[in-house]
Chain A
Amino acid sequence: MNPSGQSRSSSNSGSAERPNGRSQVLVAGIGMTPVGEHWDVSLRNLALDAMNAAMEDAGGLRPDALYVANMLAPALSGQSHLGALLADFAGLRGIEAATVEAAGASGGVATRQAYLAVASGAVEAALVLGVEKVTDKDSGQVEAALATATDADYEAIQGVTAGAQAALLMRRYLYEHGAPQYALAGFSLVAHENAVANPNAMYRKAISLEQYSKAPMVSDPLNTFDAAPMADGAAALILTRADARQHSQSRPAVEIAGSAVATAAMAAHDLTDPLGLPAGAASVQAALARAAVQTEQIDLFELHDRFSIFAALSLEAAGFAERGGGWLLAKQAEISLNGRIPICTYGGSKARGEPGAATGIYQLAEAASQLQGRAGKNQVSEASVALVQCLGGAGATAATHVLRRVSNGI
């Protein structure tokens, strides 16, 4: 414990209290496992690897609460009650622990719960873990489990899948905005390019437009390169107050400067404006307002490219493109590591892999790495502010965070 604190922005020097009375919350440690088909690793061991990595990264800080982001364990592993299971398995027996579920947005929503607990002072150090184990079941069972995030009575009963829902939005988007057939290809191409140097990525291989154009359909017009592969993965964060951070850490600190969650109608057909991503827009506005950050100050945007159409919708909802203009950003000059607004800097869900509820934690860990300058070949130069957003379903839940570097020259 370091009561004096040692990593503070100049505007906050001398106190960990923010002007609004809430404590400054730092990302003190991150841990990620490779995303992929881990036939030899169980749900709990995958989780343990990520939790151990995060605690070690935080200088051995022991958390007093665990927030688990998971959606599919009840359906695919016959396992609920992950809070107690994983706290105990990680050697943290006795601490407060529970699961947070908000479909694909679970990771971001769990992080917000941990953030609120730490900011309020009720919890000194929180461990947020996202874990998903999907490869023990066949693809039909995985599709059915994922479809429980749609309306069971009015969507899933009709044979709707997550991919079909995205395909319905994609076709309508291309139709309304007069976009060409391969308008979204660039999102997939840039994601694959960024995954090449990411040791945790599932597909570390660049792809060509020709490969994209020949890919088989998942749900037309959405092909396999528009869809992120569901895979096993676990990632973890340690959040703590600035004054509780371990003294041994010499790298720049990263704070959660803004945090917001918003919801919209869950069924795609119940959205007044199915292409508007209202929860995405509302959560971005709230998170930026809390951080006192303008869109122009954002150095990178970790968005949730579960399906390529959501990259376009997220860019529009966050204000990086006009309505209907998100697809025009699907090119290197705009979104690659040295583009105008880099996205999916470690490959995104498309190429890093999509570990469901853990996605939001991967995104935050990747963004924190960028702000600390430890992204290696994936480094976005002089990155100091990152916007991070994950989506549940067809955007029914959106969790958005603003991360900011707070020391070493800021």
Chain B
Amino acid sequence: METSRHWRLRQQRYALVGEVCPNCDLKIFPPRDICPDCGHEARTLFQFSGRGEVYSHTTVYQAPAGHTEGAPYPLAIVQLEEGPLVTAQLTDLADRPVEIGMPVEMVTRKLRSDGERGILVYGYKFRPRLPQGQPG
């Protein structure tokens, strides 16, 4: 079941909470407590906007156990506007073709289900950015 394991990650999964390095101002996601750039301790929380663009993408046809239900599914590395890359599924695409550079935004969706009695794991996915979601 691993309930506590998923619960511990609720801020990251539901709200993209990472960290910012107080020394060099690097924005960090996923959180790692030590700045990968300058080595300074980095425990200051930082909430990302959820906006970014597609850095690379694919469709997974040979899904691992636990993810076969939704296969094939679109998967991407998204570059957040604050800098970090994050790996996530794409969603709400309809028939829209995915391209590198496509603007996307974070939404919360079901990530996996562990059978009828198992827990449902929710977390971030990214969808094409909607007009009202665009800055300015």
Contacts and interface: CB of A to CB of B under 8 A. Distances in A.
Interface residues of B, number: 36
A161 B62 contact: yes
Contact of B75 (A144, A151, A168): A168
A78 to B, nearest CB: 15
Contacts of B89: 158-159
Interface in B49-70: 55-68, 70
A404 B9 CA distance: 49
Contacts of A167: 58
A164 interface: yes
A267 B67 CA distance: 19
Nearest to A157: B111
Contact of B64 (A151, A161, A218, A274): A161
Contacts, number: 109
A101 interface: no
A140 B68 contact: yes
A125 interface: no
Contacts of A218: 61-62
A161 B84 CA distance: 21
A49 interface: no
Nearest to B28: A270
Given A140-B63, A140-B65, A153-B30, A171 B56 contact: yes
B76 interface: yes
B12 to A, nearest CB: 8
A217 B59 contact: yes
A219 interface: yes
A141 B63 CA distance: 9
A143 B58 contact: no
Give the contact-size bracket for chain A. Answer: 35 or more
Identify which of B55, B59, B65 gathers the most chain A CB atoms within 10 Å of its CB: B65
Contact of B100 (A154, A172, A268): A172
Interface string B108-122: 000110000000010
Given A164-B75, A168-B56, A159 B64 contact: yes
Interface in A161-175: 161, 163-164, 167-169, 171-172, 175
B23 to A, nearest CB: 17
Contacts of B65: 140-141, 143-144
A371 B16 CA distance: 53
A322 interface: no
Contacts of A140: 63-65, 68
B73 A219 contact: no
Contacts of A340: none
Nearest to A152: B5
B62 A159 contact: no
Given A144-B65, A153-B30, A171 B87 contact: no
B39 interface: no
Interface of B: 5, 9, 12, 30, 36, 55-68, 70-71, 73, 75-77, 84-89, 100, 111-112, 121, 123
30 contacts: A139-B62, A140-B65, A144-B64, A154-B12, A154-B86, A154-B87, A158-B88, A158-B111, A158-B123, A159-B67, A159-B75, A160-B60, A163-B60, A164-B58, A168-B56, A171-B100, A172-B55, A172-B77, A172-B100, A175-B100, A216-B61, A219-B59, A219-B61, A220-B58, A265-B36, A268-B77, A269-B85, A270-B85, A272-B36, A274-B85
Interface of A: 139-141, 143-144, 146-147, 151, 153-161, 163-164, 167-169, 171-172, 175, 216-222, 265, 267-270, 272, 274
Q: Which 6 A-B pairs have the closest CB atoms?
A: A143-B64, A144-B64, A269-B85, A167-B58, A172-B56, A159-B67
